[in-house]
Structure 1
């Protein structure tokens, strides 16, 4: 009897004239067969690579995400307007990993926020939010239900894929063997493990980002796509950043850093050492005047506006600035560390 997954490998891999895109339903079934391991490692590798060569469609991404979500332990914290930050799971290779600092500013300003990720993801296998959070003394390997309570208490949390999506994370060794970006790099940013009402996901290539807008519209009607640093969500100081709403009929939000009070270019680069990235995070949260602080501050202000917490970019930036200047963001870092240590001690 033919393995049920073979037709999907054949559909995407038959060659230039015979290959075809999968329907949303087929993509959903294919991902289900991957995650329940009906598909063999060889078939999974062949499928992912041929999908990359063919190029994934928005319908395929929607189907993949819908299936992947059914294999996740998803939570629903009792907070209003939770914001999901869909940063690349493969991290940062050259520039500071600012997502934890940005999330702390956003949460300190009163907007609940959740991060999620996984270790050692190709292609970059760079510094991830989890690497930085752990280097700051905060436990990342927490049960999802514990993270839900943390979000309710502190307004911030991090969900670790080995915990909330073990079947998904089990694919990592296969992904590492061919070291290419695949559709999975997009899917994981859209898993929405905390059932957030709003999302901002980062992408690098504008053409790909625009191609994914219909998928984000179906998965996250209140979602935004950011063309940020190394494909993440940051709006760089001294530059122009474009963010696109999921609604394809709506115009992008153009963030002119100089016009918003951040004219000095941020060309920060740092080795892929989580300790150094954590040190930059502490510098930012203690409001030290470094270029990375301005990028983090600008981005936090933008996120506060996109989430509906601030009426305008200017108001969002002022809210983020107050979170730094008042020390609220730095104190939240300490509370987060204390909370996770207490939760770990309690068992």
Structure 2
């Protein structure tokens, strides 16, 4: 048993009246001890539940991110002057709506915006469809690449994916604890805001509950992150909905701006596409890349256009939507998918 960890656990697990928040340094230490499993299984499980009940603070999230940066695998900068768009969605996947970020990232990469995604396999407790399964069904095999190879693919094609089991095995090692405690631990929030990239980044984080966004903003402020966006997206992801108003925040130049966007204002309102198996979604993506009209096409344009505007490639949202549609209907995004496959094949066929 770790006596050091026991004291940290006592602070977060002592209840409403006597419990205390961890300092940034204590949160970093606790996270390191969990990732390296210096704490016992009983201590790790107890901490996950106690911290969930207490709710992590922005200070604690900042410390936890410090530990992730110290121990986790991150991609080296491809170009010190270029900003990489890092999209952070829940690792435990989707169970109601089809993910849009795979095709949106192809639109972005086609337009010259380097985009980095990250995640793992099916993750408890939701065990929803993860992004990696959709990429696999599309014939894009990120799983076998080293971080150096991910960097090269990102540099050549503007697209990359950090795969938790291979690139951050310490974090993968605590997945069984998440299964056993039966509730999302604060690590689930951490994954939304972690940027596994060592260069200049614009981090986009999904969220569901407003207090979570408040804590995200505080954590970013403490860590000196000045370029980020928060999105109340589909199932807590970074995918903008079409059947309701999208709520988001953008922090740039030291100022935070709250925005609400309605797809109806741009003639893109409709029903968000329902979840399906990875193979079916990959087939839908393939037909969309050929320019075939569908509800999924509308969602791809809505999301792709927004991100083109957010990144600064398009001067306004409408021109971003027009550009996204052009990239899809003229085969540019389809060719980008082919480029990514060929870039990865160089490593996976050796």
Does the pair score TM above 0.5? yes
Q: Secondary structure at the match of 2:273?
A: coil
Equivalent positions of 1:317-328 (< 5 A) are 317-328=321-332
In 1, Cα distance between the equivalents of 2:9 and 2:311? Answer: 39
Aligned partners of 2:105 and 2:115 also within 8 Å: yes
1:120 to 108, 122, 136: 122
Q: What residue is the counterpart of 1:256 in the other structure?
A: 262
Bigger mean CA deviation after superposition, 141-150 or 275-284: 275-284
Q: Is the 8 A contact 1:238 1:262 kept in 2?
A: no
Choose which of 222, 227, 230 in structure 2 pairs with 1:225.
Answer: 230
**Alignment match, 2:216:** 212
1:59 aligns with 2:59: yes
DSSP 3-state at the match of 2:204: strand
Q: Counterpart of 1:186? A: 189
Cα offsets for 1:5-40 (capped at 9, x unmatched): 001110011122111111111111111111222111
Q: CA RMSD in A?
A: 1.7
Does the residue aligned with 1:226 lie in a helix, a strand or coil?
strand
- Provide closer, same or farther for how the CA distance between residues 260 and 83 of structure 1 changes in structure 2, counting only shifts above 3 A: same
CA shift for structure 1 position 216:
2.9
- Structure 1's unaligned 5+ residue stretches are none
Which of 155, 158, 180 is the aligned partner of 1:155?
158
Q: Select which of 167, 176, 185 maps to 1:164.
A: 167
What is the correspondence of 1:1-347 to structure 2 with a 5 Å cutoff? Answer: 3-79=3-79, 80-141=82-143, 142-195=145-198, 196-219=200-223, 220-246=225-251, 250-263=256-269, 265-271=270-276, 273-346=277-350
Q: Distance in 1 between matches of 2:49 and 2:344?
A: 39
Higher deviation after alignment, 274-283 or 86-95:
274-283
1:63 Cα offset (Å): 0.4
Contact 2:234–2:240 (CA under 8 A) maintained in structure 1? yes
User: Per the alignment, in what secondary structure is the counterpart of residue 3 of structure 2?
Assistant: coil
TM-score by length of 1: 0.94
Greater displacement, 313-322 / 95-104: 313-322
Moved more, 34-43 or 44-53: 34-43
Name the SS for the 2:257 alignment partner.
Answer: coil
Aligned equivalents of 1:277, 1:11: Cα separation in 2? 45
The count of aligned residue pairs is 344
Deviations along 1:227-280, whole A, 9 cap, x unmatched?
Answer: 0011111112243101112479523122121112313x1232133x21122122
Partners of 1:102 and 1:300 within 8 A in 2: yes
Secondary structure of residue in 2 paired with 1:63: helix
For the residue of structure 2 that corresponds to 1:214, the secondary structure is helix
Is contact 2:88-2:118 (8 Å) kept? yes
Where structure 2 has 5 or more consecutive residues not aligned to the other structure, the ranges are none
Deviations 1:35-66 (A, max 9, x none): 22211121111001100101111111110011
Deviation at 1:106, TM superposition (A): 1.0
How far is 1:2 from its partner?
5.5
